[in-house]
Structure 1
Amino acid sequence: MIHPAKSIRTFIGSKNYQESIRFYQVLGFEVKPLDPKMSLVRVTDTLAFYLQDYYSKPWCENTMIFLEIEEDLESYWEAIKVLGLPDKFPGTKLSKIVKKDWGNEFFLHDPAGILWHFGVFK
């Protein structure tokens, strides 16, 4: 069956909602509040997710999101590195680029422990 879908959006939690909003804004995402406890976070015009004012440690620390990058991953990593996210947001971590058989990726933990994979496929 072909689904006439327009988008798919995940819901993620936040340990400190306002801090997570600032984190994603500094990362360059557009944050649009929908109500006092939820925001739509746009990565691009067609890619988005929901950020909630809700925290469950096991859920947040086991949530992973893979964002496929079209451009040069090294340049994208450098652009994120200069943001200084680990210095500005306690608990965040940025890894170096890891080269795999299928492609390359690096990792970024957000303030709630959500693990972002940024990568390119070969």
Structure 2
Amino acid sequence: MLDLRITDVRPFIGAKDFDISRAFYEALGWTTDYLDDQLALMTNGAHRFYLQRYYQKDWLENTMLHLTVADAAACHAQIAALLADGAYGDARVAPPKQEDYGARVTYVWDPAGVLLHLAEWRD
């Protein structure tokens, strides 16, 4: 077996409207650590992903990120308030749901249709 010694994983996420998607993720607490006309490196603590100026509906609407959070209900309330004015296009949020696999999850769709699973794990 190979020992790749992986120290970081950075998925690539597309955007229907690059500027709106970047603003959306910044509003969720991510910072833009690198930016050019095609790519932004989004960072939250030790976690990163690349937001790219590329849109393919089928791909983005089948992309999901599972993020562990401390409080799924608080995330829902904060994101619902953030989305209330419609500034982030088609972004939306669903109330927390207890999933059979053990997490309480708030589902959030970003402006391009990427599905975020904000999962709270309870003991």
TM-score (structure 1 length as normaliser): 0.88
Moved more, 1-10 or 34-43: 1-10
Following superposition, the deviation at residue 88 of structure 1 comes to 1.5
Q: Which residue of 2 aligns with 1:23?
A: 24
* Conserved? CA contact 1:85–1:92, under 8 Å: no
For 2:8, the aligned partner's letter is: S
* Conserved? CA contact 1:14–1:55, under 8 Å: yes
- Match of 1:87, SS state, is coil
* Conserved? CA contact 1:86–1:92, under 8 Å: no
Q: Which residue of 2 aligns with 1:58?
A: 58
TM-score (structure 2 length as normaliser): 0.87
Following superposition, the deviation at residue 4 of structure 1 comes to 2.0
Aligned pair count?
Answer: 120
Moved more, 75-84 or 13-22: 75-84
TM-align CA RMSD: 1.7
Following superposition, the deviation at residue 80 of structure 1 comes to 2.2
Stretches of structure 1 that go unaligned for 5 or more consecutive residues are none
What per-residue deviation string (whole Å, max 9, x for no partner) do you get for residues 99-121 of structure 1?
A: 12312101111111101110022
Following superposition, the deviation at residue 29 of structure 1 comes to 0.8
* Conserved? CA contact 2:40–2:51, under 8 Å: yes
Q: Which residue of 1 aligns with 2:14?
A: 13
Following superposition, the deviation at residue 85 of structure 1 comes to 5.8
Share of identical aligned residues, percent?
A: 31
* Conserved? CA contact 1:64–1:114, under 8 Å: yes
What per-residue deviation string (whole Å, max 9, x for no partner) do you get for residues 55-84 of structure 1?
A: 111111110101011x22222322222222
Distance 2:113 2:33 in 1: 22
Q: Which residue of 1 aligns with 2:111?
A: 111
Alignment of 1:65-104 (within 5 A): 65-69=65-69, 71-84=70-83, 87-101=86-100, 102-104=102-104
Stretches of structure 2 that go unaligned for 5 or more consecutive residues are none
- Match of 2:40, SS state, is strand
Going from structure 1 to structure 2, the CA distance change for 1:32 and 1:85 (only over 3 Å counts) comes to: farther
